[in-house]
């Protein structure tokens, strides 16, 4: 079967599945496939005036299966358009899947994919029969692709050798690939090329120091703030404190590197995201030199309720990365997303529907509407502009409903820790009539921002925590709500937390809470995004 025929078959399947998709948790403004399964971000790039995001995609079901490459594109990192499926497995070397990879614009002005071709002679659970090689494809428009076949077969047949990330370093093209040693131990190997066709192995530039991490996936090596950052997904890491709590864990090391030398870390492994649902991040450089990263909100080993609705998997928001003076990566929503959220508007109905005791009567909180294009269609959605009230004093063991129905939106909160003595303070979101609710807030006993899912009805439970800096006496939170997920950004970039969330039917309220003490909120803004 030709590549064109296989793509046409996959397109027909995805359109049929999309026609019956149930959207109760399907994202309004996060990237997802039209239907079916997605996982890792692939091929992130800017080409011919548009941003392109590809992804691991199984169009025939909402379960993981033989991987294709799905595709969306955007002019502004906000409004995303579905494109035809870009890659389908057709070659013998990729007969069981076109696995993850990256994209670069070559010297000839064409767009090149580099991806892992995967096949297994018996089945996936027999690793000794797996074969993974690095393949390439080329395009003149980012939509239609010509396969070039295998470009890096590896030094020996192996089943854990994948996820090529390619970039230009001076006048040399570089490729990092995740692999597994015979011990086994996770490694990052480097290849170089002058023409994107012929690649030379330069050896292993990083190896995890113990056999605890058996495999490194999705490596990404880039310069940030004058230092080198090696980002990767570690398989097999054991929990240590608040780090390494997920089934597999994505994080980064900051260190020193130059061509011909190994990567030497100068920091400990730090999570890219401290939530339950984040994996396989990939980054790229924008035309103005910013580093933007997407991650996959992975359900990991637990069953995802949205599978029954005909789809599974979504990306985080595009995240802008910078490096702090402490060699910690700062992560914030891309400025385009923030500008879109906070920009235009005209007066509309009041969002805060319960009066709050601010010590000066009952404040009224104005809000406004702005038309913004949906990330998944040309339809418009509503975006409500900020509504501030300052200060708010919440008595011990009380709660106030901030919005009786906020399914998709942004809540911005600043807690004053100097005047607050509550043990926990925060908001319950996706609060539905069946008792479902997810808590996001600050735990004064541990000094952590926490996301607590103990009162969720569907999906995995548990909580996640990230230690935070409280030296200025304040905690700043951005809580992004979509139909089936929550993203939290802490202290203007100090940390991020990604969570899948499955509220019940009906209105989804937002409730401010104060546990075992008084809570003071310095600033509050709310934006309705759908």
Q: 99 CB contacts (<8 Å, ≥6 apart)?
A: 56, 67, 115, 116, 117, 118, 132, 162, 163
Selection from 523, 19, 3 nearest residue 309 by Cα: 19
DSSP 109: S
Pair 322, 226: CB distance under 8 Å: no
How far, in Å, CA of 359 to CA of 282, rounded? Answer: 47
Q: 279 CB contacts (<8 Å, ≥6 apart)?
A: 39, 40, 233, 246, 248, 249, 250, 295, 296, 298, 300
- Give catalytic status of residue 140 as yes or no: no
Strand, coil or helix: 342: helix
Task: Check 40, 163, 273, 443 and give the catalytic one.
Answer: 40
How far, in Å, CA of 508 to CA of 277, rounded? Answer: 21
Pair 42, 101: CB distance under 8 Å: yes
How far, in Å, CA of 522 to CA of 520, rounded? Answer: 6
Burial annotation 276-312 (CB, 10 A radius, 16+ → b, else e):
bbbbbbbbbebeeeebbbbbbbbbeeeebbbeebbbb
Pair 422, 415: CB distance under 8 Å: no
The angle formed by the CA atoms of residues 108, 114 and 117, to the nearest 5 degrees, is 145
| Catalytic residue numbers, as ranges | 40
């Amino acid at each position: 079967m030709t590549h064109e025929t296989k793509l046409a078959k996959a397109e027909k399947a995805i359109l049929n599945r999309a026609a019956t998709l149930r959207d109760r948790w399907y994202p309004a403004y996060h990237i997802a496939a039209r239907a079916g399964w997605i996982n890792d971000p692939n091929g992130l790039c800017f080409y011919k005036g548009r941003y392109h995001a590809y992804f691991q995609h199984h169009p025939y079901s909402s379960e993981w299966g033989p991987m294709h490459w799905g595709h969306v594109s955007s002019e502004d990192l906000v409004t995303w358009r579905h494109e035809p499926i870009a890659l389908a497995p057709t070659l013998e070397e990729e007969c069981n899947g076109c696995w993850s990879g990256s994209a670069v614009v070559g010297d000839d002005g064409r767009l090149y994919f580099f991806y892992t071709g995967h096949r297994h002679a018996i089945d996936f659970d027999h690793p000794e029969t797996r074969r993974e090689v690095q393949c390439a494809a080329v395009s003149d428009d980012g939509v239609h692709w010509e396969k070039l076949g295998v470009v890096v077969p590896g030094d020996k047949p192996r089943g854990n050798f994948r996820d090529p990330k390619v970039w230009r370093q001076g006048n040399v093209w570089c490729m990092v690939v995740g692999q597994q040693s015979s011990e086994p131990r996770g490694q990052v190997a480097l290849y170089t090329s002058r023409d994107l066709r012929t690649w030379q192995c330069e050896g292993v530039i990083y190896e995890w120091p113990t056999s605890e991490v058996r495999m490194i996936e999705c490596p990404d090596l880039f310069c940030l703030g004058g230092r080198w950052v090696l980002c990767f997904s570690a398989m097999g890491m054991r929990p240590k404190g608040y780090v390494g709590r997920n089934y597999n864990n994505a994080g980064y090391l900051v260190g020193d590197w130059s061509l011909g030398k190994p990567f030497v870390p100068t920091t400990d492994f730090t999570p890219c995201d401290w939530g339950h649902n984040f994996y396989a991040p990939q980054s790229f450089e924008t035309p103005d030199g910013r580093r933007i990263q997407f991650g996959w909100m992975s359900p990991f080993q637990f069953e995802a309720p949205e599978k029954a609705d005909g789809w599974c998997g979504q990306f985080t928001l595009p995240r802008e990365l910078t490096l702090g003076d402490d060699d910690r990566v700062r992560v914030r929503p891309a400025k385009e997303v923030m500008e879109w959220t906070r920009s235009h508007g005209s007066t509309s109905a009041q969002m805060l529907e319960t009066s709050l005791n601010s010590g000066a009567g009952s404040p009224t909180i104005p809000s406004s509407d702005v038309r913004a294009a949906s990330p998944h269609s040309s339809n418009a959605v509503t975006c409500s502009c900020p509504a501030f009230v300052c200060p708010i004093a919440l008595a011990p063991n009380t709660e106030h409903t901030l919005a009786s129905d906020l399914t998709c939106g942004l809540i911005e909160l600043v807690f004053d820790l100097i005047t607050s003595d509550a043990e926990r303070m925060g908001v319950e979101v996706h609060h539905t009539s069946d008792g479902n609710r997810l808590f996001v807030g600050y735990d004064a006993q541990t000094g952590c921002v926490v996301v607590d899912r103990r009162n969720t009805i569907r999906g995995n439970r548990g909580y996640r925590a990230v230690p935070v800096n409280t030296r200025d006496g304040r905690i700043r939170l951005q809580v992004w709500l979509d139909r089936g997920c929550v993203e939290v950004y802490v202290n203007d970039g100090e940390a991020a937390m990604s969570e899948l969330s499955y509220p019940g039917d009906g209105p989804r309220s937002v409730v401010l809470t104060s546990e075992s003490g008084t809570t003071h909120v310095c600033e509050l803004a709310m934006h309705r995004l759908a």
